[in-house]
Amino acid sequence: MRQPDIEIYLKDADQAAVGEWLAKALGPCSEWRAQGETFKCMADSPSGMIPLTWLPKAVGKWHSLFIDSDATPWDDDVACARAANAALGVEVRCAPGSWSEEQGEEDADRWLKVTAEGVQEITWRTG
């Protein structure tokens, strides 16, 4: 099932390189503009404008990329994480699926680590 949005975490990723990858994957992107701690831009994809949010060092060395659309080439966070890892050569983490507070704190620490070796479930305490 396609997720309504995508969020991945990239370790030590370069924002300019991420922007170039997104432009190839989604369509031409506007310039990143700072809004407080975050940076925002829009990708002009064939299916419409896609809002992108970049939060540098969201968790230590990990940068957050939030794609606020279901009109992407990826059905879910894992597919996007695999594509980001392949394109950028950095470790990527994402949630194993949609998570809500009702699921409890235990599941909040379940993450997937995506590397060149594949996908592995890990415990990542981000809070």
DSSP 108: H
Confidence band, pLDDT 50/70/90 cuts, at residue 125: confident
**Do 54 and 38 meet the contact criterion of CB atoms below 8 Å apart?**
yes
Query: Residue 104 above 80 pLDDT?
Result: no
Confidence band, pLDDT 50/70/90 cuts, at residue 105: low
Structure confidence by residue, pLDDT tens digits, 9-46? 999 999 999 999 999 999 999 999 999 999 999 999 99
The first and second tokens of residue 45, run together, are 């994809």
Angstrom distance (rounded) from CA 72 to CA 103:
27
Residues in the chain: 127
Structure confidence by residue, pLDDT tens digits, 109-124? 889 999 999 999 999 9
Sheet containing 33-35, strands listed edge to edge, beginning at the edge strand earlier in sequence: 33-35, 38-45, 48-59, 62-67, 6-11, 92-94, 110-115, 118-123
Structure confidence by residue, pLDDT tens digits, 40-98? 999 999 989 999 999 999 999 999 999 999 999 999 999 999 999 999 999 999 998 75
* Structure confidence at residue 82 (pLDDT): 97
* Structure confidence at residue 126 (pLDDT): 76
